Amino acid sequence: MSILIKGGTVLSSTGSVAADVVVDGERVTAVVAPDSWPGNADTVIDATGKYVLPGGIDGHTHMEMPFGGTFSADTFETGTTAAAWGGTTTIVDFAVQAKGTSLLSTLDKWHEKAGGNCAIDYGFHMIVSDVNDGTLKEMDACVDAGVNTFKMFMAYPGVFYSTDGEILLAMQRARANGGTIMMHAENGIAIDQLVAQAIAAGRTDPVQHGLTRPPELEGEATHRAIQLAKVTGAPLYIVHLSAAQALEAVAVARNDGQNVFAETCPQYLFLSIEDLARPDFEGAKFVASPPLREKSHQGALWQGLRTNDLSVVSTDHCPFCFVEQKELGRGDFSKIPNGMPGVEHRMDLIYQGVVGGELTLQRWVEVTSTTPARMFGLYPRKGVIAPGSDADIVVYDPKATQTLSASTHHMNVDYSAYEGLEITGRVDTVLSRGRVVLDRDGWHGAKGHGRFLSRELNQYLN
């Protein structure tokens, strides 16, 4: 089955060019000057006036994640389908080690959950929540199994939290086996005290979630994680960075030549603590950790994306329904399941940065696709349109407009964090490994099309 995508502007992280793209089977076979391909394709996609870009890679999602006594609402099927609707053709989700269990049994469990259910390709990171001799040894086996990124938590004492000593041990192991430690950097010990004080004083509304997790405690934890990484020589990737103080710590380390990388998420660029403060428990829709910040942080984050101190935009997609799930924390904000939906809107929202002059087109592609591909060991199979690459391709209409809404999105969650937001740009057609999974006629994908990606090591280091 061959496909010719003709008449479009092909984007990469380094430039844009008028070109036609030829796909044969699952791969790109040629990128040629307009109208120069002599062959006859089975299917021709007219991309006139549109961008043709490598499919998005969302390196931070949580499908069916156990959290706070419930599970995030998207299954691997619904979540990967929604991702594709938004122009994302690869996700890297998190397998979650429960305390007292092994990493390899955890990995088996996540393979069972995702296998045969994903509409697009997927990989796994491993959440390490129980550091012991067995776990440390198993980290090597995870690397061999293509899961070489290990998320640890300085937040959530009693749940996912690791002590500084445990983090140090895991970093030493990652230093030895080529893995990368991903860090949820918030000072959970201090935060828990602030949370207990708020509850005792009767301050129980969702906005307290933000007020008890001040940006200084993200900045402090980020700095501490960076120092532990420096002592051990391990590479470090800060996940869901939200605060200017944390960005400053990352920038200092990078200027020093340390292998520290960071991602932010659309919610920190577009939403704020004012959303957490919405009345009638509406703020619960916006409870995620780190919390939404004052708007003053947003300019620093956009700047960080330009300077590459923030190299990746992921979503931290972790949806919980407002009715039934967020409800668990009515009367006690600390019981609201942490997380927000977003996997469907990342490409569109970051494109607003292009529309608004914050980012170039090339940088849009770089932070949403090419850098995640390199960071998570998938390049050049993913993250670029070039001969030999997987034909994960998005045809994007830069002039179309759309209004984001729960009534039209495809995520399995009963609200949109961006309800009513009018934006410019829209996904037109998406190919996943050469299969047109959606176009203007609708959905043509299928659960089970997505394959597990055994990933190479971080390509910025190896």
Ligand X SMILES: NC(=O)NCCC(=O)O
Which residues form the interface with Zn ion (CB under 5 A)?
184, 316
β-pairing, 2-11 with 43-46?
parallel
What's the closest the beta carbon of residue 62 comes to ligand X, in angstroms? 5
Task: Take residue 114 and report the two structure tokens written for it.
Answer: 């995702």
Taking the CA of residue 102 as centre, how many other CA atoms within 13 Å lie in the half-sphere pointing to its CB? 10
437 binds, among Zn ion, ligand X, none (CB under 5 to 8 A by kind): none
Q: Is 36 exposed, middle or buried (0-12, 13-18, 19+ CB in 10 A)?
A: exposed
Give the contact letters, 32-71, x = binds to ligand X (CB under 6 A), - = no: ------------------------------x---------
Please state, in angstroms and rounded to a whole number, the distance separating the CA atoms of residues 48 and 5.
9
370 binds, among ligand X, Zn ion, none (CB under 5 to 8 A by kind): none
321 binds, among Zn ion, ligand X, none (CB under 5 to 8 A by kind): none
Q: Hey, what's the torsion of the CAs at 401, 407, 409, 415, to 10 degrees? A: 120
Which residues lie below 8 Å from residue 365, measured CB to CB, with a gap of 6+?
A: 11, 12, 13, 53, 54
Give the contact letters, 311-350, x = binds to ligand X (CB under 6 A), - = no: -----x-x-------------------xx-----------
# residues contacting ligand X (CB under 6 A): 9
Nearer to ligand X (CB atom), residue 9 or residue 97: 97
288 binds, among ligand X, Zn ion, none (CB under 5 to 8 A by kind): ligand X
Residue type, position 440, single letter? R
Give the contact letters, 169-198, x = binds to ligand X (CB under 6 A), - = no: ---------------x--------------
What's the closest the beta carbon of residue 153 comes to ligand X, in angstroms? 7
Q: Is the peptide bond before 235 cis (omega within 30 degrees of 0)?
A: no
Q: Which residue is nearest to Zn ion (CB)?
A: 184
Number of CB atoms found within 10 A of residue 425's CB: 23
339 binds, among Zn ion, ligand X, none (CB under 5 to 8 A by kind): ligand X
Q: Is 200 exposed, middle or buried (0-12, 13-18, 19+ CB in 10 A)?
A: exposed
Q: Which residue is nearest to ligand X (CB)?
A: 338
Nearer to ligand X (CB atom), residue 3 or residue 276: 276
What's the closest the beta carbon of residue 149 comes to ligand X, in angstroms? 13
Nearer to Zn ion (CB atom), residue 78 or residue 314: 314
Nearer to Zn ion (CB atom), residue 88 or residue 389: 88
Nearer to ligand X (CB atom), residue 93 or residue 166: 93
- Applying the rule CB under 6 A, the residues between 339 and 398 that interact with ligand X are 339
Q: Is 14 exposed, middle or buried (0-12, 13-18, 19+ CB in 10 A)?
A: exposed
What's the closest the beta carbon of residue 94 comes to ligand X, in angstroms? 7
Please state, in angstroms and rounded to a whole number, the distance separating the CA atoms of residues 142 and 177.
10
Angle at 311 between CA 454 and CA 157, to 5 degrees: 75
Task: Take residue 351 and report the two structure tokens written for it.
Answer: 């494109």
- Applying the rule CB under 6 A, the residues between 97 and 136 that interact with ligand X are none
Q: Hey, what's the torsion of the CAs at 239, 300, 374, 72, to 10 degrees? A: 30
Nearer to Zn ion (CB atom), residue 339 or residue 425: 339
Which residue, among 181, 149, 146, has the nearest Cα to 259 in the 3D structure? 181
The answer to whether 439 and 445 have CB atoms below 8 angstroms apart is no
Instruction: Decide: is 92 part of the binding site for ligand X (CB under 6 A).
Output: no
Angle at 253 between CA 249 and CA 258, to 5 degrees: 150
338 binds, among ligand X, Zn ion, none (CB under 5 to 8 A by kind): ligand X
CA 328 to chain CA mean position, Å: 25
What's the closest the beta carbon of residue 111 comes to Zn ion, in angstroms? 20
Q: Which of 288, 300, 361, 431 binds ligand X (CB under 6 A)?
A: 288
Nearer to ligand X (CB atom), residue 245 or residue 289: 289
What's the closest the beta carbon of residue 177 comes to ligand X, in angstroms? 23
Residue ranges binding ligand X (CB under 6 A): 62, 184, 240, 288-289, 316, 318, 338-339
